[in-house]
Amino acid sequence: MLKYSLFLGCYIPSMQPFAEIAFRKIAPQLDLELKDIEGATCCPVPEIVRLIDHDTWLVVAARNLALAEELGNDILVMCNGCWETLHEARSELLHDEKLREQINSFLKFSGKSFKGTVKVKHYSQVLAEDVGVERIRENVKVDLSNINVAVHPGCKLYKCEEGNAVKYMVEIVEALGVNIVDYGIMRVCCGYPLMLASVDKAIHERTKWKLDAMKKAGAEMIVVACPACYDQFEKAELALKDEGLEYNLPVIHLSELIALAFGFSPKEIGLDLHGVPFNHIFKELEDVL
């Protein structure tokens, strides 16, 4: 068994439990043992906390890392933003002894200390590098080749080991047997960070651009690896629907797509809880499940 400390972040437990449910269901089939990090908090969000107070961002991140170090396992992260925070905070602290001492002086009040003994891995890395794409392919039980998907890795995943995680995500989706459509702007951000400045600009000048390209390419749903990207696409679709624009492109986490391919039913993993319904795809799945 491959053992990891599971870091879920904020979005998944509070608003997207289906991503966690799906991953916990597929983990045993891939010989993954997941340990919860008791007491873990928000990573914290790099777009907000790091910009306001860099040291506070580091202290909170270091505490989360210290909790995982106590478990003795590398951290498996299911959120792109959480991966960025924990990976970059760890790197900063490891390469700056003076900074590490300063941050640990704050952590000592909670009885914690950052040592840098565990690695931080995005779950696409774990699935590709440690489990192996071939192992995933061997567990596929359902033919999903009649479903067209648009893959959206998310901008932060391009920072992961020179973009290897993006390649891994595409390879995993391909191994599941679905048909990946080329919509031409996969690397473009979903618009989530821009939401912090202008909701209107984020939706109409960024997310809509991607939705238009995906729809034109023939996609039937969007596969994401990040809960913030999930939230952005779904909110944008619902907002644009109020303006008379219908996309009908349900958003699905990579973990959920894997679970479907492994034979878990849509209801088992919570697809019925999504904001943009899968009704037009459910019937196709019922025919093969």
Residue-wise pLDDT for 214-262, tens only, equals: 999 999 999 999 999 999 999 999 999 999 999 999 999 999 999 999 9
State residue 214's pLDDT score: 98
State residue 288's pLDDT score: 44
Q: What is the reported pTM?
A: 0.95
Query: Tens-digit pLDDT profile for the chain (289 aa)?
Result: 899 999 999 999 999 999 999 999 999 999 999 999 999 999 998 777 877 889 999 999 999 999 999 999 999 999 999 999 999 999 999 999 999 999 999 999 999 999 999 999 999 999 999 999 999 999 999 999 999 999 999 999 988 776 689 999 999 999 999 999 999 999 999 999 888 889 999 999 999 999 999 999 999 999 999 999 999 999 999 999 999 999 999 999 999 999 999 999 998 999 989 999 988 786 666 554 4
Domains (range + CATH), the chain: 2-123 (1.20.1050.140), 141-288 (3.40.50.11810)
State residue 289's pLDDT score: 45
State residue 274's pLDDT score: 94
Using CA atoms, how far apart are residues 127 and 176, in angstroms rounded to an integer? 13
As a whole number of Å, the end-to-end CA separation of the chain is 28
Find, among 208, 204, 239, 234, the residue nearest to 221 by Cα.
234
DSSP string, 141-208: -S--TT-EEEEE--GGGGGTTTTHHHHHHHHHHHHTT-EE---S-TTS--SHHHHTT-HHHHIIIIIH
State residue 195's pLDDT score: 87
Tokens of 194: 């821009």
State residue 281's pLDDT score: 80
- Three-state SS at 221: strand
